[in-house]
Chain A
Amino acid sequence: MDRRGAALILVTVLLVVLTILSTALISSSFSENGFARRYLESTQAFWLAEAGMNQALNELKINPTLQFIDNTKLGQIGGYSATVDSTGLINLNGNINVTAYGFVPFNGPRVERGIQVIINRTTFTPNNFYNDTVLYSTGDVVIKNNAFEINGNVIYGDNLTVRETDNIHGNSTQVTNATLPALNFEQLKYISRQQGYYYNGTASVPPFPTEFWNDQAAQIPNVFFWDNTSPLTLKGTVGGLFIVGGGDVTTDIRIIGNVIVRGCIYTTGQFKIDGGGSALNIDGSILASNATINGGGNLSYNQTYMLTMQDWSSNATVTVTSWKDMNNTYTLY
């Protein structure tokens, strides 16, 4: 029997069998590896989304107008981003939707995971002083004129000197070691710049906003920010949030003559009225390091204005009321 050609056939058959076997093995291990990698990256993306959410919630405590966190790289693995669903510039308190995404890798992501959270933001109110407090001074309050009427409560840190006590239609309370509330000055500066009411390094008399609201529907007030060391003198009819000094500058503010103010005045220095008349009207509130009133007029508390100012407090608590994983494992719902 001639068997010389059998070896080739045998070897070929054997090779084919081995090739099929090894191909199956390799492809199955490749797909297993792919599953494992996808699972790993999905888990990494989830924790990146958590990181983004934590950063957003932390920033929201001090920044009431946070809109989004840009794509941020974290480590060598991937990155995150976040968006805050706020309709206007001021969506400060109450329920806010925050969405955070984690993705892997940072450039050209293969995997993305998302978290959606509803938070409740509440600003911190020291001693509840925003309530009905029309005049808040961390130092003295001196009222020299007997024709100056105050409708609301007065809080003072050191001494209260009033010529006519009956003119204060509210409670006068001493709070030793009183401090001015910390406002979010950086955001206030940003908004006043956008509105054209930010003054820095100029002593010229600016045009003042005349109404409190810049956009009442969006609840955005006019923000007038006087970031100078020279004192500011208010004239005519003005409206808005007046931040005088603020941050690290101490500046005084003066009112001379019949000025109408619709809004809140916040000064790190002295608030002073010189020679007002019966037509001097302040509808809002005054927060100052000390206050001297040397003229007639009216000062009345306005809760809407005060609450708007309270929204700019830089110290808020953020509580998660609803937490949701945006990618669900089960498709049953």
Chain B
Amino acid sequence: MRAFTLTEALIAFFILSLLAGGIFMVTNIAILSWNSNRAMLEVVQEVRQAMDGMTREIRQSNSPPGSESPEFEFSIPDVTNKIKYYCDNDKKQLIREHPPGTKRVLANNISFLNFTPTASVLKIQIRATKTIRNVPHYFSLTEEVKLRNG
């Protein structure tokens, strides 16, 4: 049995590296997109969960804010202190404060939070922005809640 010539080996190596390079590129793109999708999915889930909790609580609130506002403080039946929702702009966090001083982070990566009252209906808008490898990704969620005690 004769061994490969140098030329044969070089050609084989070249083809192999082409193939490997192609596969790597495709796989890399897939992995990157998988990772960014997963990161974004986590953001989406967090925002949805926060929105769900907020609407369930705000639904029981007594009165909407006087005008459009980035924060909302309200009372609900059988709960002594007021509950407050706002966005910590430095940490980009959606915060629930109750009782005063006790803070709970509901969601991260929050870039915008707004409460718009219309009679006894309150529109809540949340936007999350996450930068993944220098590319900003956005997720916006809007819900309208009828204030049952309003």
A interface, CB within 8 angstroms of B: 39, 118, 320, 322-325, 328-330, 332-333
Distance A118 CA – B60 CA, assembled complex (angstroms): 13
Distance A324 CA – B60 CA, assembled complex (angstroms): 6
Given A329-B56, A333-B79, 16 extra CB contacts under 8 A: A118-B77, A320-B148, A322-B149, A323-B59, A323-B60, A324-B78, A325-B57, A328-B56, A328-B57, A329-B53, A329-B57, A330-B57, A330-B96, A330-B104, A332-B104, A333-B98
B104 contacts A323, C-beta separation under 8 Å? no
Judged by a CB distance under 8 angstroms, whether B52 is at the interface is yes
Distance A239 CA – B72 CA, assembled complex (angstroms): 58
Output the least CB separation between B105 and chain A (Å). Answer: 12
Which B residue's beta carbon lies closest to that of A50?
A: B148
**What 1/0 mask marks residues of chain B from 40 to 60 whose CB sits below 8 Å from any chain A CB?**
000000000000110011011
Chain A residues lying within 8 Å of B77, measured Cβ to Cβ, are: 118, 322-324
B98 contacts A325, C-beta separation under 8 Å? no
Output the least CB separation between B27 and chain A (Å). Answer: 16
B56 contacts A324, C-beta separation under 8 Å? no
Distance A325 CA – B52 CA, assembled complex (angstroms): 13
**What number of B residues sit within 8 Å (CB to CB) of A?**
16
Output the least CB separation between A64 and chain B (Å). Answer: 24
Supposing A320-B148, A330-B53, A330-B96 touch, asked if A325 and B59 sit within 8 A by C-beta, the answer is: yes
Distance A320 CA – B102 CA, assembled complex (angstroms): 31
B interface, CB within 8 angstroms of A: 52-53, 56-57, 59-60, 76-79, 96, 98, 102, 104, 148-149
B52 contacts A329, C-beta separation under 8 Å? yes
A323 contacts B56, C-beta separation under 8 Å? no
Which B residue's beta carbon lies closest to that of A322?
A: B77
Chain B residues lying within 8 Å of A332, measured Cβ to Cβ, are: 96, 98, 102, 104
Output the least CB separation between A229 and chain B (Å). Answer: 49
Distance A56 CA – B52 CA, assembled complex (angstroms): 27
B53 contacts A324, C-beta separation under 8 Å? no
Which B residue's beta carbon lies closest to that of A43?
A: B52
Chain A residues lying within 8 Å of B52, measured Cβ to Cβ, are: 39, 329
Chain A residues lying within 8 Å of B79, measured Cβ to Cβ, are: 333
Chain B residues lying within 8 Å of A329, measured Cβ to Cβ, are: 52-53, 56-57
Distance A325 CA – B77 CA, assembled complex (angstroms): 9
Chain B residues lying within 8 Å of A328, measured Cβ to Cβ, are: 56-57
Output the least CB separation between B108 and chain A (Å). Answer: 18
Q: Which of A39, A118, A320, A329 has most B Cβ within 10 Å? A: A329
4 closest Cβ pairs, A-B complex: A323-B148, A329-B53, A322-B77, A324-B77
Output the least CB separation between B112 and chain A (Å). Answer: 22
Distance A320 CA – B56 CA, assembled complex (angstroms): 18
Distance A114 CA – B57 CA, assembled complex (angstroms): 14
Could you pull out 12 A-B pairs where Cβ atoms are within 8 angstroms?
A118-B77, A320-B149, A322-B77, A322-B149, A324-B76, A324-B78, A325-B56, A328-B56, A329-B53, A329-B57, A330-B53, A332-B102
Which B residue's beta carbon lies closest to that of A116?
A: B77
Output the least CB separation between B84 and chain A (Å). Answer: 12
Chain B residues lying within 8 Å of A320, measured Cβ to Cβ, are: 148-149
Distance A329 CA – B83 CA, assembled complex (angstroms): 14
Distance A118 CA – B52 CA, assembled complex (angstroms): 24
Chain A residues lying within 8 Å of B149, measured Cβ to Cβ, are: 320, 322-323
Chain A residues lying within 8 Å of B78, measured Cβ to Cβ, are: 324
Chain A residues lying within 8 Å of B102, measured Cβ to Cβ, are: 332
Output the least CB separation between A199 and chain B (Å). Answer: 46
Which A residue's beta carbon lies closest to that of B48?
A: A39
Chain B residues lying within 8 Å of A39, measured Cβ to Cβ, are: 52
Which A residue's beta carbon lies closest to that of B49?
A: A329
Distance A329 CA – B51 CA, assembled complex (angstroms): 11
B96 contacts A325, C-beta separation under 8 Å? no
Distance A194 CA – B136 CA, assembled complex (angstroms): 73
Chain A residues lying within 8 Å of B59, measured Cβ to Cβ, are: 323, 325
A325 contacts B104, C-beta separation under 8 Å? no
Distance A333 CA – B83 CA, assembled complex (angstroms): 10
Output the least CB separation between A319 and chain B (Å). Answer: 12
